[in-house]
Chains A and B, each alone.
Chain A
Amino acid sequence: MTDQQDFAEALLAAESTFPPGLSTWNGSDPGRRFAVYRNNVIVSLIDALADTYPVTQELVGAEFFRAMAFQFIQKNPPRSPLLAFYGEDLAAFIETFPPAASVPYLADIARLEMLQVQAYHAADAAPLDAGEISQLLANEPELPRVSFTLHPSLGILRSRHAVVSLWAAHQTDDVTAALAEIAPNTAEAALVLRAGLDVEISRIPVGSAAFIAHLQQGLAFAAAAQQASAADPEFNLAAALCLLIQGDAITSVSLSTTP
């Protein structure tokens, strides 16, 4: 066990070292051979993060991103052989990484990109049809206690920064021109939802985002609407519901036992 631990630690060490007890069959330098392996591990993991976080990388440049990713990898080695979700904690790491502090929205951009990956890989779920939703209206007194199960791919991000606009600017051909229109310190909320095989990222009102996030956490209809009204005086419940219905995002309804 301890051999494995030494080996794993040396792989991700800041300086190139190699664990004791290594030997090579042909007499070549074990340090050199280990360095090749070590380098492949690190480069693969950095590449995996760069694939998952393309806009995060664009915001700070590849050189900065890759150096930051290496720091991250040393503290957060993969815990699964599947690299699809590797780097889930990158946003939290960015927040504690002083050199990134000059780009205050960087962590939320990373969160948005991870939600996109998670939405892409989330399970399928059939939406409620219009008839089933109409049935809710037949039992109006129970409506406040109804709770909604939302599509597994659905993600909400509420940010103090203009995350959706910044992210969307990086999907355009002329990024610089698109960025010129954006005030980064405007609060924005994102709805991430898969439609078929496409993950869609939309900017939605902050009240709608609060409502949907509370529903997702299991709050009943009335309580979620109440919270959203408190969070955003402009909250429009019909518009928020419309987002969910049009996005086929409601997969089941039930009566919650708690109000």
Chain B
Amino acid sequence: MNKTITAASLALALGAAMTVAATPAAAQNKMSDKEHCYGVALKGKNDCKAGAGTTCAGTSMRDHQGNAWSMVPKGTCEKTLSSTSPTGHGQLKEFKEKKA
């Protein structure tokens, strides 16, 4: 894009975009860098959330004890960080000692 935005340049871009948008399929990757990743239909949550919490079965679940966060996050973040070389790797290890 030019640094100066003129009415003509806007018109040109809009015209080009419309032409491409009107061309099916073939145009999809040419003009837009859009990658379709995922389409998902989420289930709705209503005001009476059914699930583990709606029965007394939850009573013995003590999983909301508030100290687990003092541990290292155990998910895929470690894999993510260790699989690439930029900064930020050591933090996970040091973090283990850290009392939050």
A-B complex is real:
yes
Residues of A within 8 A of B (CB): 14, 35-36, 39-48, 51-52, 57-61, 63-71, 81-84, 86, 97-104, 106, 116-117, 120-121, 130, 133-134, 136-137, 140-144, 164, 166-168, 170-171, 175-176, 179-180, 182-185, 191, 195, 197-205, 208, 221-222, 225-226, 228-229, 235-246
> How far, in whole Å, are A69 and B86 apart by their CA atoms in the complex?
29
Q: What distance in Å separates the Cβ of B50 from its nearest Cβ neighbour in chain A?
A: 9
A40-B58, A43-B53, A83-B49 as given contacts; A64 in contact with B40, CB under 8 Å? no
Selected contact of A40 from candidates B15, B44, B53, CB within 8 Å: B53
Selected contact of A35 from candidates B21, B31, B59, B91, CB within 8 Å: B59
Residues of the B chain whose Cβ atoms lie less than 8 Å from the Cβ of A221: 10
Cβ contact within 8 Å between B38 and A59: no
Size of interface on B: residues with Cβ below 8 Å to A? 77
Selected contact of B1 from candidates A47, A70, A98, A225, CB within 8 Å: A225
> How far, in whole Å, are A243 and B17 apart by their CA atoms in the complex?
8
Closest to B52 in A: A43
> How far, in whole Å, are A184 and B56 apart by their CA atoms in the complex?
42
The DSSP consensus for interface residues of chain A is helix
Show 11 residue pairs from A and B whose CB-CB distance is below 8 angstroms, ordered by the A residue: A43-B58, A43-B63, A44-B53, A81-B47, A99-B73, A130-B18, A175-B79, A185-B86, A201-B38, A202-B37, A222-B5
Cβ contact within 8 Å between A225 and B51: no
A43-B63, A59-B75, A203-B33 as given contacts; A67 in contact with B81, CB under 8 Å? no
> How far, in whole Å, are A197 and B31 apart by their CA atoms in the complex?
25
Q: What distance in Å separates the Cβ of A56 from its nearest Cβ neighbour in chain B?
A: 9
